[in-house]
């Protein structure tokens, strides 16, 4: 994976280009191939520096920056900051793979940029997962403010360089600067810096995952090997709007169930330009309808279904879509925007069924917090799982977490931590924890898993130190297993609504092929993310 570093400044006098040049030359001297990328470029047409660096690597100047200053101001003035971040991420990803390390610069601190782009550099550094090296000629106090600013935006500062009259003693007196490496150099003399910075960058492993970064990485994975996902609910405008965006970004092939003329007409009314790229299937006249009816009859005749009933069942769009997945005409399905969870899950449980070794299907929500990813389960399917089922949910949720980039540390939640409380509900979690640890020895060796524990003990280091000081999970859990559907559903909604977290799900686990449910209150971004999740699950299932 390409390493990167975000070179930032607190003031306009740091001569940041000199620091960038010193770092790039040092990297070249080590035999590495360094690259350069600017997030916001003031004057692309006349920036000789960018033109020279681009020509050196046989690239166009446009390859070396995210957006122009004019474009950035336009994004922000129209309230589209997330779209701006997405564009910068997309531009950066196109060149990152060409280099061993990329030096990233934020916007130059010219007057118009300093005012128009306030707050943007920190957000971009966090979303790029780039460690920050902060240059300052204005003293330790302003450098401390800079560190505070970047940290408030969840960016990770690894080094502060004071180029001026400030001493290390002055810097050491400021608490926030005690947590980062501080260097003092002569004004604009950066020759001695690159080696130390290079070592820090090489050793850096990002601990922050922003919601936009998670979504970007998810869609990039989905695009790497496109899957065919069926969307049964063409009469819902949110589905059509999401489908249009998915087709524009080209990360999945879509099958939309509905009359082609009706779907395209409604798409035109909504101003959508990409729906013709989807496979539009009228379930009543589909050329493969008879194949699905016959296959469904074969699968269900032992349950007493007749050929006539099989024919009628294929008029239900969720059953039709599920049969498309079963017969390989689609790799996965996403439904539920206009129906209940049962409407989506019942056909999947009847036709696709659970994987060998899975006694139940379960669900998780991926909770995208401001700076990390948490996995909550089960919040949508199993009402009152017994200890053995709760253990199974814990193990498969850990596997889901790993599949989507979160290092699993599993907390079995209860109203009691450790041995502090008693009662049937606590004892059930004790039993589930024991069963999960036994199962993990075979299915997930070395999995950190502990319980029972309260929610605060699972996530807050200070509380964990007090209540479970010897736990490898308490205070740093990433997978939280709720003891019941009641607790899980309340828990995820409480966190979502009070913290502003992005909740992706429910993601269904344990099926032989991915079928995922949408909330009836879902937004267009929710649908897009769920399709991307389903596509990545399908990649894992096909394994090719």
Q: Which residues of 504-518 are buried (b: 16+ CB within 10 A; e: fewer)?
A: bbbbbbbbbbbbbbb
What CATH number is given to the structural domain containing 544? 3.40.50.10950
Instruction: Calculate the alpha carbon distances from 313 to 340, 365, 393, 476, 509 in Å.
Output: 17, 30, 31, 47, 25
CB 103 within 8 A of CB 230: no
Please tell me whether residues 490 and 479 are part of one structural domain: yes
Residues 385, 272 share a domain: no
**CA–CA distance, 105 with 98 (Å, rounded to integer):** 18
Structure tokens at 422: 């008693």
Measured CA to CA, the distance from residue 369 to residue 213 in angstroms comes to 11
DSSP string, 200-218: HHHH-------HHHHHHHH
Q: Is the domain of 236 the same as that of 190?
A: no
- On whether both 343 and 402 belong to a single domain, the answer is no
Q: Find tokens 């046989």 and name the residue.
A: 58
Q: 153, 188, 207: which is the final residue of a domain?
A: 207
Last residue of a domain, one of 207, 236, 256: 207
Question: Across-strand partners of 32?
Answer: none
Q: Helix crossing, 260-269 with 237-249: angle to 10°?
A: 90
The enclosing domain of 156 has a CATH number of 3.40.50.300
The answer to whether residues 186 and 135 belong to one domain is: yes
Q: Is the link from the previous residue into 2 a cis peptide, with omega within 30 of 0?
A: no
Look-up of token digits 């006098």? 13
Nearest to 255 by CA among 283, 284, 232: 232
Per-residue pLDDT for the chain (544 aa), expressed as one digit of tens each?
Answer: 678 889 888 877 778 888 888 888 888 777 778 889 999 988 888 889 899 999 988 999 999 999 998 898 889 889 998 889 989 998 998 888 888 889 898 887 766 666 567 678 899 999 998 999 888 887 788 888 888 889 999 999 988 888 877 777 777 778 788 878 887 877 767 776 667 777 888 788 888 888 888 888 888 889 989 999 999 999 999 999 999 999 999 999 999 999 999 999 999 999 999 999 999 999 989 999 999 999 999 888 888 889 989 899 889 999 999 999 999 999 999 999 888 888 888 999 989 998 888 889 999 999 999 888 999 989 988 899 999 999 999 999 999 998 888 889 999 999 988 776 677 888 999 999 999 999 888 888 889 999 899 999 999 999 999 899 989 999 999 999 999 999 999 999 999 888 888 888 888 999 999 999 988 888 898 899 999 999 999 998 876 5
CB atoms within 10 A of CB 442: 8
- The dihedral through the CA atoms of 119, 121, 123, 126 has a sign that is negative
- The DSSP secondary-structure symbol of 97 reads T
Q: Among candidates 508, 488, 500, which has minimal Cα distance to 414?
A: 488
**Same domain for 473 and 387:** yes
Q: Which of 207, 226, 256 is the last residue of a domain?
A: 207
Q: Are residues 185 and 237 in the same domain?
A: no
Q: Are residues 142 and 104 in the same domain?
A: yes
Q: Are 519 and 526 in contact (CB under 8 A)?
A: yes
Query: Are 322 and 381 contained in the same domain?
Result: no
Whether residues 240 and 285 share a domain: the answer is: yes
Residues 202, 177 within the same domain: yes
Query: pTM of this prediction?
Result: 0.83
Question: In sequence order, which residues have a C-beta less than 8 Å from that of residue 268 and are 6 or more positions away?
Answer: none
Question: For the chain, what is the domain count?
Answer: 3
Are 386 and 449 spatial neighbours (Cβ–Cβ below 8 Å)? Answer: no
Residue 302 lies in domain? 209-353+515-544
Q: Do 231 and 297 belong to one domain?
A: yes
Nearest 5 degrees, angle CA 359-CA 526-CA 268? 125
Q: What per-residue confidence (pLDDT) applies to 300?
A: 87
Domain CATH number, residue 439: 3.40.50.10750
d(CA 402, CA 534): 15
């Amino acid at each position: 994976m390409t390493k990167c570093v975000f070179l930032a400044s607190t003031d306009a006098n740091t001569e940041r280009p000199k620091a960038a040049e010193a770092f790039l030359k040092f990297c070249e001297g080590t035999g590495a191939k360094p690259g350069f990328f600017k997030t916001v470029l003031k004057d692309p047409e006349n920036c000789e520096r960018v033109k020279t660096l681009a020509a050196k690597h046989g690239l166009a100047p446009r390859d070396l920056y995210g957006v122009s200053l004019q474009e950035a101001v336009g994004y922000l003035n129209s309230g589209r900051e997330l779209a701006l971040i997405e564009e910068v991420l997309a531009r950066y990803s196109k060149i990152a793979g060409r280099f061993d390390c990329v030096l990233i610069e934020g916007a130059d601190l010219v007057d118009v940029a300093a005012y128009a782009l306030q707050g943007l550099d920190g957000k971009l550094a966090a979303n790029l997962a780039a460690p920050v090296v902060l240059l300052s000629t204005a003293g330790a106090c302003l450098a401390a403010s800079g560190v505070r600013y970047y940290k408030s935006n969840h960016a990770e500062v690894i080094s502060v360089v004071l180029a001026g009259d400030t001493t290390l003693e002055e810097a050491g007196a400021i608490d926030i600067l005690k947590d980062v490496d501080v260097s003092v150099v002569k004004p604009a003399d950066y020759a001695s810096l690159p080696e130390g910075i290079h070592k820090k960058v090489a050793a850096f492993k990002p601990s922050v995952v922003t919601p936009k970064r998670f979504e970007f990485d998810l869609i990039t994975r989905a695009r790497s090997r496109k899957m065919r996902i069926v969307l049964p609910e063409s009469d819902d405008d949110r589905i059509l709007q999401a489908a249009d965006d998915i087709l524009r970004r080209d990360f999945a092939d879509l099958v939309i169930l509905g009359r082609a003329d009706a779907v395209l007409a409604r798409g035109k009314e909504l101003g959508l330009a990409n729906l013709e790229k989807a496979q539009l299937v009228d379930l009543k006249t589909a050329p493969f309808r008879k194949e699905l009816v016959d296959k469904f009859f074969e699968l269900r005749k032992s349950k007493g279904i007749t050929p006539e009933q099989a024919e009628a069942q294929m008029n239900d769009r969720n059953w039709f879509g599920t049969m498309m997945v079963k017969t390989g005409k689609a790799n996965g399905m996403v439904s539920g925007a206009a129906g209940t969870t049962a409407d989506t899950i019942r056909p999947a449980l009847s036709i696709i069924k659970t994987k060998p070794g899975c006694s139940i299907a379960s669900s998780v929500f991926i909770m995208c917090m401001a700076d990390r990813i948490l996995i909550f389960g089960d919040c949508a399917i199993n009402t009152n799982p017994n200890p053995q089922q709760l253990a199974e949910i814990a193990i498969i949720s850990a596997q889901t977490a790993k599949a989507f980039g979160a290092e699993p540390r599993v907390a079995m939640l209860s109203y009691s931590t450790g041995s502090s409380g008693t009662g049937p509900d606590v004892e059930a979690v004790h039993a589930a924890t024991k069963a999960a640890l036994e199962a993990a020895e075979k299915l997930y060796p070395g999995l950190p898993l502990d319980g029972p524990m309260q929610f605060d003990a699972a996530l807050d280091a200070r509380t964990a130190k007090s209540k479970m000081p010897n736990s490898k999970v308490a205070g740093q859990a990433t997978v939280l297993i709720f003891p019941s559907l009641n607790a899980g559903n309340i828990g995820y909604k409480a966190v979502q609504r009070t913290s502003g977290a992005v909740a992706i799900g429910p993601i269904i686990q344990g099926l032989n092929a991915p079928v995922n449910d949408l909330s009836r209150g879902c937004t267009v971004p929710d649908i897009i993310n769920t399709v991307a999740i389903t596509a990545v699950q399908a990649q894992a299932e096909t394994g090719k």
